[in-house]
Structure 1
Amino acid sequence: MNNDLKLIEQRIDEQFQRKSRTMYWLEVVDDVYDQTYNFFMCHQKKGEPLRSVPLHSLTDHDLASLETIIAALQHYTQLTIHYFGFVGQEWPGSHRIIQKKRHGEE
């Protein structure tokens, strides 16, 4: 897990250019079919299309391990993290809901 975290952090550093008028965020996707968690770095400059760059996939499909990595990433970077495919799931440590509703729903 430590190697996964270092690799994700390294790839975030490579992608985070701090360009003006550009929004940056991370996305974490629960791929239930492949039993992986996929990390993406997203950025969008005003007036331009969204760009999403794959960072890494965790093959350890364990929410407790993911929670540890997410906590470390939140400490490492102040980027917002969006979650996809986690509707109804909660973090094992805090028992907080990860994703309350599907994206696009009101």
Structure 2
Amino acid sequence: SRLPMIQISGCPNSCARHQAAEIGFAGRKVRVGDHSEDAFQLFVGGSVSGTGAHLGALQGVMFASVIPQYIVELGQLLEQEEKTVSELVECRCFKELTEKFLVS
């Protein structure tokens, strides 16, 4: 599989280093009508190496309930395109897939 390790945390202090991961999710709540839903900010393109860290770009917010399907479809896209997330992140197909799952 071409999926990298996914960093995910509900901690607002970046305990799982989600911003520095190739794919990272940071937990939060989103107001929907008169109640709150579990959601995650999606960060893509981060990295950590011996020379430093590069923070991933915030793509938007996803409801927690759609993340498993997003990961499945992202994995399929990575296999289809024969690329890594870092290589795919600027492609229109990646942006279209990701936008399909983001909270409006």
- TM normalised by structure 1 equals 0.37
Bigger fraction of residues in helix: 2
- TM normalised by structure 2 equals 0.38
